[in-house]
Amino acid sequence: MPISVAIVGSGPAGFYTAEAIVKAIEDVEIDIIDRLPTPYGLIRFGVAPDHQTTKKVAQSYAKTAKHENVRFFGNIDIGPDISLDALREMYDAVVLAVGAPTDRKLGIPGEDKIGVYGSAAFVGWYNAHPDFLDLNPDLSGKAVAVVGVGNVAIDIARVLVKTRTEMLTSDLPDYAADAIEAGSIEDVYMFGRRGPVEAKFTNVELREMGNLEICRSVVDPAVLPDGVDPDLEMSDRDRRLKERNLATLRSFTEKEPADEQRRVHFVFYASPVEILGGDKVEGLRLERTRLEDGRAVGTGEFFDVPCDMVLPAIGYLSLPVEGAPFDERQGIVPNDDGRVEPGLYAVGWIKRGPTGVIATNRPDGVAVAGHIGEDFPAPSGKPGRAGFLDYLAQQGLRPVNFAEWERIDAAETAAAEAPTPRRKFTTTEDMLTFLEAQS
C-alpha cells in the first residue's frame, strides 16, 4: 500500500511539492486537487499575459502531473465540495498549497469607491480568471493610479499602456484587449511610499518600461541618488541589482520625449492617504514621505492626483482554510518549516506569505517531501485515492483529470492564430461543456 498524499492547490508550490515527493518516496500516490478545472495557479492567472516565456515553466509541471504516481483532480473545491477534515481522514498527508488569492487592503478612506480594484482582482480579470470576469473595469478615464512599486504594479502598468500590436504575442483575452484599446488611458502613476532604492520591482521588468511602443516612462531625476548609500546594509548582489535599477530609472530621464501618447510616472516618497470622489474615484490624495531607518514616515505635506481608477498592488493575502489553523496577523498557516499538525503541511504563500519568485516555492516542496518521508515511514492504512474517488462518485462531483486539461489546453492553443499563443476559455462552465461535447 502506498503512502497517500493530497496536495490542495496546483500552482508552482503544489507542483514543486509533488515533484519533490515522487523523487523522495518510491511507494507513494499523490493527488493534486484544484478548485478550477485548469492547473498551474498563478502561472496561468498571475504571470502577465505578455510574459509567455515565464509561463513555459508549466511544461515541467506537466511532466510531474503525468508521473505514474500522480493524478490531477481539477474542479474540486476543498470546503464546498469536501471538507479539509474529510480529506485528512482519507490521506496520510495533506499539503496546503492554496496560495494567496485575494488582496491586502490599503486601509484608507474611499477604498470602497467604484474604480478601486486590488491587484489580485485586476490581474485576475486580464488573465481570464473565472472569479474576476465580471469586474468590468471602466477604462474610459485618462489617468490611473497604481499603488506600490513591486513587480505586480509594473505588470499592471505595462498591460495598461501596451498597444494591441505589442500584446499580439500574449494571451490577453479579447474582452480585456478590447477594453484597453477602447479605453482612454494616457497616464499611469505608480506610487512608491519609499524611494527608488527600496522599490521591490526587479530590473528586467523595469527595463521593459523603457522599450514601449507609444509610452514613455517618466521619473523626477531629483529623487534619483547617484548611487546606493554605502552605509545601507545589503548583500553585494542586492546592491548590484539596486544600482542597476537606478541606472535604468536614470536612462528614463535621459530619453528625449517623442510625442508618446501614454506615460507611466514613477513617483517615489508618496503614500496614499485617501481615495477622493463621490461614488466613483476622482482622485488620490497622497502624503509626501521621507525615510527613517528604512521606513516611510509622513512629512505632513499632501498633494492630490486626479485619476479615474486606483489599483492597489500592495501584496496578496491568503485566506483561512476551514479546518486548518490560521495566523490572521501574518496571513499564513502557522507552521514549523512546513509542518502544521500531524499529517498536515503547508507550502508556498500560505506557508510564508506572498513574496518571492516562482522558483522560491521549490525548496518549500523539498522540505515538506522530506518531512512526509520522515513522518510516514509506512502508510497508516487510510484509503487514499480509492476513498477520494468513492467520495467524488457518491457526491456526484465531476473532477477534471489531466488528460482532459490537455484537451482544454489544445483547444485553447488551436483557437489562437499565430503569433498569439492561446485563446483562453473564460468560464468553468464553458470548459465542462467543451469536455462533454468531446466525449
Q: Which is nearer to ligand NAP, 3 or 199 (CB)?
A: 199
Q: What is the DSSP letter of 74?
A: B
Instruction: Give the list of residues 6+ apart from residue 12 with CB closer than 8 angstroms, or none.
Output: 40, 41, 42, 43, 57, 61, 348, 358, 361
Of the candidates 176, 212, 163, 181, the one whose C-alpha atom is nearest the C-alpha of residue 423 is 176
Is the CB of 365 or the CB of 384 nearer to ligand NAP?
365
Look at residue 428 and give its three-state secondary structure: helix
Nearer residue to ligand NAP within complex by CB, 193 or 262: 193
- Minimum Å gap between C-beta 152 and ligand NAP is 3
Q: Are 119 and 312 in contact (CB under 8 A)?
A: yes
Q: Which is nearer to ligand NAP, 278 or 300 (CB)?
A: 300
The three grid cell numbers given for residue 170, joined into one nine-digit string: 500574449
Between 53 and 439, name the residue whose CB sits nearer to ligand NAP.
53
Q: What is the distance between the alpha carbons of residues 191 and 146, in angstroms, rounded to a whole number? A: 6
Amino acid at 126: Y
Contact 208, 158 (CB under 8 A): yes
> C-alpha grid cell for residue 144?
490611473
All residues at 6 or more sequence positions from 297 whose CB lies less than 8 Å from its CB, including other chains: 289, 290, 291
**Smallest distance, ligand NAP to C-beta of residue 400, A:** 27
| Residue 150 or 173 with smaller CB distance to ligand NAP | 150
Distance in Å, CB of 120 to ligand NAP, minimum: 9
- Closest separation in Å from C-beta 52 to ligand NAP: 12
Binding footprint of ligand NAP on the chain (CB under 6 A): 106, 147-153, 155, 192-194, 198, 200, 202, 205, 271, 313-316, 354-357
DSSP-assigned beta bridge partners for residue 259: none
Residue closer to ligand NAP, measured from CB, 295 or 398: 295
Is the Cβ of residue 34 or residue 205 nearer to ligand NAP in the bound state? 205
Q: Least distance (Å) from ligand NAP to the CB of residue 416?
A: 23
Cis peptide before 130 (omega within 30 of 0): no
**109 vs 285: CA distance, rounded Å:** 10
Q: Identify the CA nearest to 185 among candidates 138, 250, 139.
A: 139
Question: What's the min distance (Å) between Cβ of 285 and ligand NAP?
Answer: 13
* Residue 314 vs residues 271, 343, 354, 383, 420: alpha-carbon distances, Å: 12, 33, 10, 43, 30
Least separation in angstroms between CB 397 and ligand NAP: 32
Shortest separation between residue 155's beta carbon and ligand NAP, angstroms: 5
